[in-house]
Structure 1
Amino acid sequence: MDTIRDLASEKAVVVFAKSSCCICHSVKSLLYDLGASPAIHELDRNAHGREMEWALRELGCNPAVPAVFIGGKLVARSAKDIISLQVDGSLKQKLKDARAIWL
């Protein structure tokens, strides 16, 4: 759990994903399209990925990926959450508040 919290604070936007997950790819693309440059942690390519996946589940992520942290806070426990933030217009503001984007 400490590893997740440490990694989640390393940049303004942090995404925990799996390289083979098409939904994760879509979430990353959305963030890039908005101008953010997130730190990406591919759990299937990390030696401690399995432990990190369980820690994300303990935080309420089910499935464990994609999980999105903005400003060190877990804002999306699933793709549905991040899409909801985009649809209601609050995702861009969260990115601005965290200084992940400037526009």
Structure 2
Amino acid sequence: MDRIRDLASKKAAGIFTKSSCCMCHSIKWVESIDSHSLFYELGASPAIHELDRDPEGHEMERALRSLGSNPTVPAVFVGGKYVGSAKDIISFHVDGSLKQMLKDAKAIWF
């Protein structure tokens, strides 16, 4: 859990993923109307943490599960706090709250 907290707090936005997970791929590169990544379109540059490429990935996946991330990946953190999975992020984007979360965490400035 300490490693998750440490990595999640290093940047204003972070995404824990697995390279083989289609939902992870979709949230890392969620396409907006003009074909740019959702996070980058909003002006954020999230840290991407590939659990299957990390020696402690299995332990971190268990820690994510204990936080309530189900499925465990993708798990998105904003401002060091767990905010949800792919469906949550899409919902936050649609209702406009994702942009505000990123502003509040100083991941974006406008």
SS at match of 1:57: helix
SS at match of 2:83: strand
- TM-score w.r.t. the length of structure 2 is 0.87
Instruction: Give the unaligned 5+ runs of structure 2.
Output: 30-37
Following superposition, the deviation at residue 60 of structure 1 comes to 0.4
Distance 1:68 1:32 in 2: 14
In structure 2, the residue matched to 1:27 is 27
Larger displacement relative to structure 2 (43-52 or 19-28): 19-28
Cα distance in 2, alignment partners of residues 47 and 35 from structure 1: 31
- In structure 2, what is the equivalent of residue 44 of structure 1? 52
TM superposition shift of 1:22: 2.1
Q: Which moved more, 1:30-39 or 1:51-60?
A: 30-39
- 1:49-90 Cα offsets, whole Å, 9 max, x none, are 0000000000001111010110011111x2111111111110
Which of 83, 87, 108 is matched with 1:101 structurally?
108
Q: Name the Cα RMSD after superposition.
A: 1.0
Gaps of 5+ in 1: none
Cα distance in 2 for partners of 1:87, 1:3 equals: 31
SS at match of 2:109: coil
Distance in 2, matches of 1:74 and 1:14, equals 9
How many residues get paired? 102
Percent identity for Structure 1 against Structure 2: 74
Q: 1:26–1:39: structure 2 CA closer, same or farther, 3 Å change rule?
A: same
Query: Which structure has the bigger radius of gyration?
Result: 2
**Amino acid in structure 2 at the alignment position of 1:44:** D
Letter in 1 for 2:16: F
2:77 to 69, 73, 84: 69
TM-score, structure 1 normalization = 0.93
